[in-house]
Structures are given as structure tokens and as C-alpha cells.
Amino acid sequence: MKDANMNLDLPLNEARSHEVDVVLDGKTAHSQLKISHNGKVVEWVTQKGERQTEIDKNDIDKHFDEDPYVLGSMVRAMRAYWEVCVKENKDWVLGVTRATASRKGQLVLSPDNDFWVVRISNGKNLQTFMGDDVLKERIPHRVGIYVDYQERKVTFYNAEDSSLIYSFTNGPSYEDDARPLFSPWKYEKQPITIL
């Protein structure tokens, strides 16, 4: 099920014209996430000691402490688009959140809590966290994410076939300072790559 306004969504080729460079912010990463040197790849590591960088005590309030998330950084613009490769992943979460959203404890991923995300679990259940809403779409290997602050929309695309996955019409405003959100989820062996 998609939002009623799905016919007003921007075609993928137009969304791509607003592409921005996104890098992972290691200062926000959960302790069992490993971030690549170029800031484009995140993966779950089974041993805490495998983490690429230790959490600096000055950054302790910035990182996610219970669930395996990491924020991305990007240039602020009224419209932004980026793509993520999740090809081999069976569990992941992608989307945006306000920079001020909670990072502590068990998170409730909903627009009411400043999270506009989609998730796949067990390689087949694509969810929006809007009640029990399960999307019956072909599971994408590449996901495009488009944020339009003026329209207050967060739109997800299957970047392989240019189809719409889902569009939140109650998204963040420019003043909310939304940031990309990524998670390969716990025990997922495959990394997530920002393209």
C-alpha cells in the first residue's frame, strides 16, 4: 500500500537530478558497526573489538547505543537524493531522521518519532513502520532516497527499475535538519554501500 498522493511523486530520473554526496558519520555509529575509511560502507561486526574506531568519550551522546544505526552527513539543500546498494542484505533500515531524534535505547521508528524509514526483514518483508503496513513490492537491490523539504516528502525508489516503493507525505521541514539513516541490522553479514 502506498500513500494516496503517490501519483504526485517525482519520477526517479528527476529525483536523481538532486543527487548529493552522502558520507557516514562515524561519531554517530553504534559500537558494533564498522565504517569504511571513505565513509561509504557500513557493516555489522560480531566482535566489539572489530569496530574501526572507538567511541570518543566526547562523542558518547552522539552515537546510537542499542540499535545498530549510523547517520549520514550531506550538504543541506531544499531537495536531496542519494542511492544505496543493499543487494545481498536480508535485513536493513534506510531513511532519514531529524538530527535531534533520540539515539538512545530501543527506538520506535515512525514519523511521530522523527523517523521516515523503510525496512526489510528476513529478505522479504518490506515495511514502512506505519502500523502493520507491509509493502508487496519486488525487493530492491538498490534504493533511491529523495527528500523534498518544501513538499515535506520522503520518497523511496527501487533504483533498478525506477519504480516507487513508498512516499511519506508528512516528512521533515528544512528547519528539522534531517539526516540520512542507515542500518545493516544485527548479525547481517553483508555491508550497505552508499553509491
CATH number reported for the structural domain that contains residue 177 in this entry: 2.60.120.920
- The DSSP bridge partners found for residue 80 are 147
Average pLDDT over residues 3-22: 79
Smallest CA-to-CA distance from 171 within 111, 131, 110, 103 is with 111
Q: How many domains does the chain contain in total? A: 1
The answer as to whether 1 is a domain residue is no
In the structure grid, which three cell numbers stand for residue 162, read together? Answer: 525506477
Residue 142 banded pLDDT, cuts 50, 70, 90:
very high
Residue 55 has phi, psi (to 5 degrees) of -75, 120
- Residue 81 falls inside a structural domain: yes
Does residue 154 contact residue 95 with C-beta atoms inside 8 Å?
yes
* Range 94-101 average pLDDT: 94
pTM of the model: 0.88
134 within a domain of the structure (yes/no): yes
Give 143's pLDDT tier (boundaries 50, 70, 90): very high
Under the banding of pLDDT at 50, 70 and 90, the label for residue 132 is low
Does residue 38 lie in a domain region?
A: yes
Residue 195 falls inside a structural domain = no
What's the Rg (C-alpha) of the chain?
16
Instruction: Flag whether 106 is in a domain.
Output: yes
In a domain, 194, yes or no: no
Per-residue pLDDT band at 6 (split at 50, 70, 90): very low
CA distances from 172 to 75, 118, 153, 158, 176 (A): 16, 15, 7, 22, 6
List residues bridging with 163 in a β-sheet: 158
In this structure, what DSSP letter does residue 65 have?
Answer: S
pLDDT at 4 over 70: no
Which structural domain range is residue 151 located in?
A: 6-189
- Count of C-beta atoms within a 10 Å radius of residue 178: 25
**Residue 28 within a domain:** yes
Checking if the pLDDT of 52 tops 50, the result is no
Of 45-54, 103-112, 178-187, the one with minimum mean pLDDT is 45-54
